Structures are given as C-alpha cells and as structure tokens.
Amino acid sequence: MSRKSRKSRKSVTLSVFTSGAVLLLLFAIFEKLPLRAVGPTARATGAAMPAPDVKPAATIRPPSRTVPADSKLHTVAKGESVPGIVHHYLPLTTFLTGSELERAIRAANPEIKGLWPKPGSEIEIPSYRENWAEKPVLLPKSFEARAVYLTGTMAGSAKGLEIIRTWREAGGNSVVFDIKDSDGSVSVPTGLPLAPEQKSYPIRNLPKFTAFLHSQGLHAIARIAIFRDEALVAKHPELAVQARKGGAWRENGKLVWTDSSNPKVWEYNIGLAKFAAANGADEIQFDYVRFPAEGDQKDAKFIFEAEHPDWKRADAITAFLKRAQSELKPMGVLFSVDVFGVMAWQRPIDLSHTGQDIPQMAKYCDVMSPMIYPSHFYGMDGYSDPGDAPEHFISESMARFQKVTAESGVVLRPWLQAFGWRTKSYSPEYIRIQVAVSRLKGGNGFLFWNANNDYSKPYSAMPEMRQDKAKYFRGDEVKSAAQKTAAASRIGAAAN
C-alpha cells in the first residue's frame, strides 16, 4: 500500500474516531442537562431539542444579596469611596457619627478591605431609615431649663455629641443649638426661598438630631439669630437697612443688618421657627431681636417710617413678636427671646437704638433671657472691672428685670457667663455665684454661653450645685415635666 493510501485510511479512521468522540460527548452533555432545559417531550419522542433557555455565562449575574429589613443595598458606582458612601448615608441611618456608620458598614460587608469597594458590587447599609419625623416634647413655661449653647457646626459633630452627653451626665437638662447664626448661615436644609444656598449643613437631619436630644432626656431649644443676617443682605440688599444717602446702610462699614421692620424678613425668620418646631424642637429662641445699635443712626432708614409713621423702633419689634407668637402658639412649643442685659436699666438711648422695650416684649413670649454677662457691663455702676463683680451685676440685673416685667407673667431665665473674657476670677466658683444669685433674685433656670463651646468650668461646678438644690436649682427633668403637662392637657380637654 502506498504511503498516500495509508495516509488516507489513517485520516478516515481519525475522522470517524473524532466524530464518535464528539457524539459521545454530546450525549453525555444532554444527559446532564436539567429537565427544564430539555423538556419531557424531546426525551420521549427523540424530537430535536430546543436550545437551552439560559443566557450566555458571560452575562449571567448572581441574584441580589438578601439583607435585613432595616438595611438597604447600595450598588457601588465607579470611583465611589467608603467615606463618600458614609457621607451620603449618614443622615439616612440611625447612626450619629460617620465613624460609627463606617464601622457598621465594614462589619456588614467584610469583603471591603480598603477605601475603594469594587464598582458594581452591592454592599449593605445597616440601620437604614429614610423617613424621619420627631414631635416636640411640650413643657410648661415654668420648666427650669439648665442649658449649654452649641453652634450648629458643633452640634452636628462627634465632639458636639460628646458635649451633649457630658452635660447631661453633669446634671443639665437642656441644649441650645443654632438654626441660624448672626452671619446668616443656617445649620439645617429648610427649602425656604430666602435661606442661603450652602454646599453643606452641619445638621443634615433635624428630626434625627432632636430625637437624639429627646433620647437623652434633654429639652431641645432652637436658636435663631433674627435681624442680624449677613448672608441674607449680601444676596438681597433690598432687604437690608437702607441709607438715606442711597444704597444699603452699613454698621461701621459692615453690611450685616436686615431691616427689622420688613415683613419679608419677618416671614423668613418665622418660617425658620415653624420648620424647627415641626421637626422636634421643643422651644424656639429668638436672638438679635432688635435694630442695629451702632453706626450712623441718623443715616439709617427703615420701612416702618413710611408704612407706619406713628411707630418707633420699639413698636416694630413688638409687632414682630406678636405675630411670631401667634404663629408658634398653635404648635405648642415654648417661645423665648434674648435681650441685652443693659436693657434692664431702660436708658432712653438704648431703647431708641435697639427698640427693645422690655415690658412690651415680655407680653409676647413665654420666656425672656437677658444676657447678663458681668464682663459686658463696662462703664456701669462705677465698676472698673465689672467682669470680676458677678454677684453685683447678676443681682442688680435680675432685680431690675423682675421689676419691669412684673405684670407680664413672663419667665426670666438668664444667659450666664461661661467664658473668661475681661475677668481674672473665672472659675467653677464664678459659675456657682452667678447661678445662686440669679435664683435668689427670681431667675428660673439658666443658660451658659461660651462661643467656643468650652464648658469645662460649668462641668466642674455642677456636682456641688446638684448637692445643694435649695441654693442653686430645683432639678426639673424633662420626662416628669412632660408627663405633668400631658396630664393637665387631658384634664383641660375633659373639662371642655
């Protein structure tokens, strides 16, 4: 046999062998195909099998992960980092700080090793809560608040939460926090037309924050700086105090004051107050409820001069408070107002500039909080260093405020000095002197002010004060006061 013939026979034999092997392989495959892919009719009749009803392996995706009911699945986008995911979801979870949420995310998703999870992967966001709502805890105006003040930035931070917890442990029962500060910046997104456009907000979820305060047994006081609003007049100079010489009026060269008699400014600030109350704030506190006290007063022009020529500045302030009270009262929250401590002396020049007529203002708020920081009474009562005479100035201020508000029924709850400016004697004892004298002169509770939110001295002063409640404070607590309020409301409803 020729080499060509042997080669041809070899080729045929190999071809037959290969074909047989292929057929055996196909039979083996079809035998192992699931019934849903092959079908009983095809097996019984030997009819041609339909193509398996599956997608090519390259496009098959595993089913989504199963997560607990209080969690949410998040699909990681290209370039998305763990810190970015934490920032996005923090206001939508029950966690209070970013570090807490990050630890929870990593615990729920152990496959995440670094900062950059795999794009397209699904990760679990634990303790997810999209819809938040919190109601105010209603208290009587006689409630004895013991509070510290926090800026919005501090309140929305991990350090702020630490201050809140420490204050509660020390014996405090209330916290004042900013909704809007005097520069016009707002701490929370509100959606109000005149609110400034900000890239970020320190308190991104207000009902979540007030719910936290309530969980700690704390009275939530939302502070709003009213008429000094740098952000608003920068964007809307038409709402600023106007200069008789033309253009917006400036206080010592600074454009910071809105027209305290402008109805649009009233509406914006009352809108902020109602927003805070609707999201769990128990008390609304107005600060900077006045006209500018410095600068060229003769050049300042206000809307009320044309619309209400018979008014003075004090009439505009009183009218504003009357309207604010009427809109907040149906919501049940307390309404408090901060005033200059020097207004207790009722000097005509102070009244004509600020418009803070204390007896009239007291008629339209539940609580009045005079700012009676001893160091601020420079040039008063013959003291060269008033900051080192806390007993005198707290006593004199409270006695005068008691006298001028005697017929109004307003509660006096003073702002006390918790900072060392212009005093050499600032200490825990300095704190105790202010609290004791204030109570002796009719004060009901107190608010501590420190612009930097440093309350180390009040913390140190509280243990001794808690031991002698007859001298310093009664010790009211939110829960018991709220229960009494609810019981009184039920009795009143039954009587009607």
Residue 362 burial (CB < 10 Å; 0-12/13-18/19+)? buried
Return d(Cα 231, Cα 257) in angstroms, integer.
10
pLDDT at 14 over 70: no
The answer to whether the Cα torsion of 16, 18, 21, 23 is positive or negative is negative
User: What is the per-residue pLDDT across 246-296, written as a single tens digit (0 to 9) for each?
Assistant: 999 999 999 999 999 999 999 999 999 999 999 999 999 999 999 999 999
pLDDT of residue 47: 35
Q: Are residues 150 and 219 in the same domain?
A: yes
Question: What's the mean pLDDT in 177-190?
Answer: 98
Residue 94 burial (CB < 10 Å; 0-12/13-18/19+)? middle
Q: Are residues 104 and 175 in the same domain?
A: no
pLDDT of residue 63: 53
Question: What share of the chain in percent tops pLDDT 70?
Answer: 85
pLDDT of residue 4: 39
User: What is the per-residue pLDDT across 43-83, written as a single tens digit (0 to 9) for each?
Assistant: 333 333 333 344 444 444 455 788 999 999 999 999 999 99
User: What is the per-residue pLDDT across 379-408, written as a single tens digit (0 to 9) for each?
Assistant: 899 999 999 999 999 999 999 999 999 999
Q: Residue 78 belongs to what domain range? A: 72-125
Return d(Cα 175, Cα 145) in angstroms, integer.
9
**pLDDT, the chain, mean:** 89
Q: Are residues 170 and 79 in the same domain?
A: no
Q: Could you tell me which residue, 54 or 164, shows the higher pLDDT?
A: 164
Q: Are residues 266 and 354 in the same domain?
A: yes
User: What is the per-residue pLDDT across 173-183, written as a single tens digit (0 to 9) for each?
Assistant: 999 999 999 99
pLDDT at 238 over 80: yes
Q: Are residues 473 and 339 in the same domain?
A: yes
Q: Identify the CATH number of the domain in which residue 469 sits.
A: 3.20.20.80
Domain count, the chain: 2
Q: 455 near 163, Cβ under 8 Å?
A: yes
CB atoms within 10 A of CB 25: 10
Would you say residue 179 lies in a domain?
Answer: yes
Q: Are residues 150 and 121 in the same domain?
A: no
pTM for the full model?
0.86
User: What is the per-residue pLDDT across 268-278, written as a single tens digit (0 to 9) for each?
Assistant: 999 999 999 99
Question: What's the mean pLDDT in 462-469?
Answer: 97
pLDDT of residue 43: 33
- Residues with Cβ < 8 Å from 409, sequence gap 6 or more? none
Q: Are residues 362 and 247 in the same domain?
A: yes
Q: Could you tell me which residue, 42 or 89, shows the higher pLDDT?
A: 89
Q: Could you tell me which residue, 146 or 32, shows the higher pLDDT?
A: 146
Question: What's the mean pLDDT in 186-194?
Answer: 98
